[in-house]
Amino acid sequence: MSSSTKIGTFLLNDGTRIPRTGWGTGTALFKQDVTDVTALAIKSGLTHLDTAQAYCNEDSLASGIATSGVPRSSIYLLTKINELPEGKTIRDTIVESLQKLRIDTIDLFLIHSPLKFRGEGKKSLQAAWRALEEAKAEGLAKSIGVSNFMIEDLEDILETATVVPAVNQIEFHAYLLDATRELLEYNAKKGIVIEAYGGLSPLFRKTGGPLDYPPPFNIQATYAGGSATQGQILIKWLHAKGIVALTTTSKESRMKEIRATETLPDLTADEVKAIDKAGSGQHHRAYWKGILP
């Protein structure tokens, strides 16, 4: 692995760039002290970091950044609001996040889910998005976006928006291709970049499917780019679609494996199609089950 190979970036609709591979502190790290594991991830070359107010680890993530010794300017940081605490405004919670993260401005701030902001229907959701637009105008966030937004949620905020979300962070992998086809097309039409979490689900959450290795699915053996793990191939598949891959691990070896994805050649069009074909007709959702399609 050459950690000197820069992580590729995708251009966002506000002119900023997002590193196409991120490392998250949800899942197993939810509500944990992530100081040491964050420092390890950064030292392994993973510098796009995902947290959320709901994960309750923004402060220890900041400690991890400090411990790593890597300058803040080399880190891409994002957090999200999931729920508005009683008596607080969205701006209050953004400022609290920035204080915990020990920064004045964040690279990307997201609404974690539309669900908690639909109190009085679409007007509440539109008001929440307006608060993010104001935070961006004030310089508290360089980019703003959403997470787990379906087409109707996006349509509602775009009715009154002055800023189009830069990113929509959603669960996405080959076994959600059919369920998200229209959503992906809609986001592409609006210039919203997709950031995918749960991208490694075919590897370990939904085993016995057509993307399992060893055969029937054998893309590792036929990958024109040479030797790669199945996880690396699934990340390359997301990149080929212009999708940011947000994954996680606590293990140094896997951090290095994820980082080393950057040194691998792109999948060929046929390899992308082979994974699309294997995923089509399958359905597996690990998060927001029963709520999202």
Ligand X SMILES: NC(=O)c1ccc[n+]([C@@H]2O[C@H](COP(=O)([O-])OP(=O)(O)OC[C@H]3O[C@@H](n4cnc5c(N)ncnc54)[C@H](OP(=O)(O)O)[C@@H]3O)[C@@H](O)[C@H]2O)c1
Element (H, E) at 94: helix 90-101
Q: Is 30 helix (H, G, I), strand (E, B) or coil?
A: coil
Q: How far is the CB of 235 from ligand X (least distance, A)?
A: 9
Binding mask 32-71 toward ligand X (x if CB under 6 A, else -) reads: ------------------x---------------------
Q: Is 9 in the site for ligand X (CB under 6 A)?
A: no
**Is 197 one of the catalytic residues?**
no
Q: Is 97 in the site for ligand X (CB under 6 A)?
A: no
Which CB sits closer to ligand X, 103 or 160?
Answer: 103
Q: Is 209 in the site for ligand X (CB under 6 A)?
A: no
Q: Is 25 in the site for ligand X (CB under 6 A)?
A: yes
Which CB sits closer to ligand X, 163 or 244?
Answer: 244
Which CB sits closer to ligand X, 108 or 135?
Answer: 108
Of 287, 161, 181, 285, the closest CA to residue 241 belongs to 181
**Applying CB under 6 A, which of residues 141, 231, 232, 284 lies at the interface with ligand X?**
231
Binding mask 159-198 toward ligand X (x if CB under 6 A, else -) reads: ----------x---------------------------xx
Report yes or no: 272 and 241 within 8 Å, Cβ to Cβ.
yes
Span 112-151, contacts to ligand X by CB under 6 A: 112, 147-148
Q: Is 201 in the site for ligand X (CB under 6 A)?
A: yes
Of 161, 158, 138, the closest CA to residue 150 belongs to 158
The contacts of residue 293 (CB under 8 Å, 6+ apart) are 150, 179, 285
- Alpha carbon distance 176, 277 (integer Å): 12
Residue nearest to ligand X (CB): 24
Q: Is the peptide bond before 85 cis (omega within 30 degrees of 0)?
A: no
Of 183, 196, 141, 185, the closest CA to residue 163 belongs to 141
| Residue 283 marked as a ligand binder | no
Q: Which residue has the tokens 């075919």?
A: 202
- Alpha carbon distance 133, 161 (integer Å): 8
Rounded to 5, what percent of the chain is helix, strand, coil?
Answer: 45, 15, 40
Stretch that binds ligand X, among 121-129, 133-141, 201-209, 219-227 (CB under 6 A): 201-209
Which CB sits closer to ligand X, 142 or 285?
Answer: 285
CA dihedral (65, 69, 73, 79) in degrees, to 10, reads 0
Residues that bind ligand X (CB under 6 A): 24-28, 50, 112, 147-148, 169, 197-201, 203-204, 231, 246-251, 254, 287
Binding residues for substrate: 112
Indicate which residues carry an active-site annotation: 55
